Structure 1
Amino acid sequence: MLDINATNDGGKMNVTLDGRIDTTTAPQLEAVLKEKLGNSTELTFDMTNVEYISSAGLRVLLSAQKAMNKQGKMYIKNVCDAVKDIFEVTGFSDILNII
């Protein structure tokens, strides 16, 4: 299960995630991003309560990063050690801006 709280304030989109980002929940996150991202110039994911991310979740983050490379910046904050390890092993820590 994944709870997604997405707000867009003056071109700054904040997405707070709570749960697991896996093959079941990644399409839900992708749909929210497609619906709300629009012309945002900044996208921030708060992953304080994300304990796991699968390859499907990584794909959604990569797609979001590609979109934001064209229109602004993307940040990922409050990443737990387990998810940080996944980012490092897959090389995503070199692609994503983790703060």
Structure 2
Amino acid sequence: MALEIDKIEGAVVVSAEGQMNSGNASAIEIDLLAQVDKGERRVVLDLSLLSYISSAGLRVVLLLAKRLKQVDGKLVLCGLQPKVLEVFEISGFLGILTVAASRGEALLLLR
């Protein structure tokens, strides 16, 4: 699992590549929540290169969304591949998270 973190148009864009599972979820959680602790309030989570997400990975995404909400921030997910999208659908998370088709659309939603 690799995370690439960039600052684009005043937002933090985190690109996740590989699999987000119980073996790496805690390290990913630390990296993502550190962004909020540094004062970031607008976050795009680009999952276009994510091939798999487990319940542990879903928990990390939910924790990030909750932490951002607590500080009046916003999270937008983008680029969900069909298998990953299906996991978000089954879990019911699509009803509580903001999802965009592309990184550009996600950045527009954060303006």
Counterpart residue identity of residue 41, structure 2: T
CA-based RMSD of the aligned residues comes to 1.5
Aligned to 1:57: 57
The residue that corresponds to 2:67 in the other structure is: 67
SS in 1 for 2:14: strand
Percent sequence identity over aligned pairs: 28
CA contact (8 A) 2:20 2:52 kept: yes
In the superposition, the TM-score normalised over structure 2's length comes to 0.81
Give the TM-score taking structure 1 as reference length. 0.90
Is residue 65–residue 74 contact of structure 1 (8 Å, CA) maintained in 2?
yes
Asked if the contact 1:15–1:43 (Cα under 8 Å) also holds between the matched residues in 2, the reply is yes
Aligned length: 98
Compute the displacement of 1:28 (Å): 1.6
Question: In the aligned structure 2, how far is the partner of 1:56 from the partner of 1:22?
Answer: 6
Which segments of 5 or more consecutive residues in structure 2 lack a partner in the other structure?
Answer: 101-111
- Structure 1: 5+ residue runs without aligned partners? none
When residues 35 and 10 of structure 1 are mapped into structure 2, their CA distance, relative to the original with a 3 A threshold, is farther
How many angstroms apart in 2 are the aligned matches of 1:43 and 1:84?
Answer: 19
Q: Say if 1:11 and 1:39, in contact at 8 Å, map to a contact too.
A: no
Moved over 2 A (4+): 7-11, 34-38
Q: How much does 1:93 deviate?
A: 0.7
Which one-letter code corresponds to 2:23 in the other structure? T
Deviation for aligned residue 1:11: 5.3
Shift of 1:35: 2.3
Within a 5 Å distance, the mapping from 1:14-25 to structure 2 comes to 14-25=13-24
Conserved 8 A contact 1:11-1:41: no
